[in-house]
């Protein structure tokens, strides 16, 4: 099966489930997980002070072909039109599909050293004992050592007269936070002996300049129209030169990436910090680039640091998160990073296309009308009828919805 599914948004939930089951070869147990609700006991072991569980809707982005493989991609968020836009963005790229590449799984752990008597001498002592430091760090993880991963190199720099020691660690298919922090704390005592200084912070950095993903797509120029292609390119240039626009531009990218991370219970806060810090290196700007090829197609690309894991973490605690990973059929963290970058590119393209061609509100408010109808008290078939009437009358508001609900009930 491929991920180009005509009329998916018009199908019933049961029909969609059957397509997902067949596409991802899901078992009966997998299908039951779609209706699984985490109990408060499990939730209470995940975070502190639990009193209830938040329900977030989860939908499927269709039309994605990445590195010649078809994907259905679970996304979880509260905002209407995002999944529809993402799927539409992928449809424009389908003739050639997305290409993506991740550089690897290298992360930085930082040890902050203060009151170092002679920082330059200390730096040389650290480098002279580099192999011992790395060997000590690698005793903290047999798993990484067996994979020929783990601590690989050391980098030193100075910040406000403090000596900062960075250990570069290959975390393989893990997100990496726990093992990195464990390694840093273990070697910090030896580092203090070498330097005569005191270790303060020993913590992983969420800016992953050694763990970057590239994605590329050719969006069909004939489907878009020449004027829209040019407008999208201009819009991207606008983001390069205006930080107010660049912030919203990159927020559009994260609309898609965060939704996939939430569906799989990965740390979207870390990814937000990572992405925006990376966008700030050299002055804040857009994470995407657009140009036109000789045939009039729109060429889009994204370069973004992504640090996600496919082993450990909350993903293994939640049945629905595990199901989301299985639907995508992810084999390793690099593949997961590739998917996220392509989703971010598709989401950004879709937003720019809407802004350049018709304005962002047309499609968004049409889908938002259903939420307003529900908030006003509409139930069952009344929801679609009231939403359609508000769209037809171009009056999508809570007041209008409330009046319509009252009228429907009186009738």
Active-site positions? 79, 251, 267, 364
Looking up tokens 């948004």, which residue turns up?
9
Number of helical H runs and strand E runs in the chain:
17, 10
Interstrand relation of 298-305 and 212-219 (parallel, antiparallel or unpaired): antiparallel
Residue 127: both structure tokens together:
């480098």
Which among 202, 226, 98, 112 has a CA at the least distance from the CA of 158? Answer: 112
Which residues, 6 or more positions from 188, have their beta carbon under 8 angstroms from its beta carbon?
Answer: 111, 199, 202
- Across-strand partners of 204? 109
Distance CA 247, CA 218 (A): 24
Backbone angles phi, psi at 355, to 5 degrees: -65, -40
Which among 97, 340, 358 has a CA at the least distance from the CA of 224? Answer: 358
Q: Are 265 and 315 in contact (CB under 8 A)?
A: yes
Q: In what order do the strands lie in the sheet with 298-305?
A: 69-76, 58-66, 98-102, 212-219, 298-305, 288-292
Residue 206: both structure tokens together:
């969420």
Helix 82-93 crosses helix 333-357 at what angle (to 10 degrees)? 100
Which DSSP letter does residue 297 get? P
Residue 299: both structure tokens together:
């060429």
Residue 120: both structure tokens together:
């330059």
Q: Are 114 and 165 in contact (CB under 8 A)?
A: no
Distance CA 157, CA 25 (A): 50
Which DSSP letter does residue 62 get? E
């Amino acid at each position: 099966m491929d991920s180009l599914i005509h009329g998916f948004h018009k199908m019933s939930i049961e029909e969609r489930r059957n397509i997902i089951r067949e596409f991802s070869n899901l078992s009966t147990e997998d299908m039951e997980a779609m209706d699984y609700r985490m109990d408060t006991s499990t939730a209470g072991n995940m975070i502190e002070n639990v009193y209830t569980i938040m329900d977030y809707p989860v939908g499927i982005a269709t039309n994605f072909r990445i590195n010649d493989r078809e994907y259905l991609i679970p996304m979880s968020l509260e905002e209407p039109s995002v999944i529809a836009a993402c799927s539409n963005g992928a449809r424009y790229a389908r003739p050639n599909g997305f290409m993506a590449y991740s550089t690897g799984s290298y992360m930085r752990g930082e040890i902050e050293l203060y009151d170092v008597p002679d920082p330059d001498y200390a730096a040389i002592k650290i480098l002279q004992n580099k192999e011992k430091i790395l060997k000590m760090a690698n005793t903290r993880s047999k798993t990484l050592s067996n994979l020929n991963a783990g601590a690989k190199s050391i980098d030193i720099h100075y910040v406000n007269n403090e000596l900062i020691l960075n250990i570069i660690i290959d975390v393989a298919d893990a997100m990496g936070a726990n093992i990195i922090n464990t390694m840093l704390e273990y070697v910090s005592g030896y580092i203090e002996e070498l330097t005569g200084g005191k270790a303060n912070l020993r913590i992983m950095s969420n800016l992953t300049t050694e763990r970057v993903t590239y994605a590329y797509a050719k969006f069909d120029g004939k489907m878009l129209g020449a004027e829209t292609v040019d407008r999208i390119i201009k819009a991207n240039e606008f983001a390069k030169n205006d930080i107010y626009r660049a912030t919203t531009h990159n927020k559009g990218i994260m609309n898609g990436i965060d939704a996939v991370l939430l569906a799989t219970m990965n740390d979207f806060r870390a990814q937000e910090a990572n992405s925006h810090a990376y966008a700030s290196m050299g002055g804040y700007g857009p994470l995407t680039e657009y140009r036109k090829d000789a045939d009039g197609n729109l060429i889009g690309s994204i370069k973004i640091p992504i640090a996600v894991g496919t082993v450990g973490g909350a993903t293994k605690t939640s049945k629905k998160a595990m199901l989301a990973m299985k639907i995508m059929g992810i084999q390793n963290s690099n593949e997961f990073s590739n998917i996220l970058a392509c989703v971010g590119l598709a989401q950004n393209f879709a937003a720019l296309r809407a802004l350049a061609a018709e304005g962002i509100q047309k499609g968004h408010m049409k889908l938002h009308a259903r939420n307003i109808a529900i908030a006003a008290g509409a139930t069952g078939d009344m929801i679609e009828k009231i939403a359609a009437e508000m769209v037809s009358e171009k009056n999508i508001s809570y007041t209008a919805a409330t009046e319509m609900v009252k009228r429907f009930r009186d009738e």
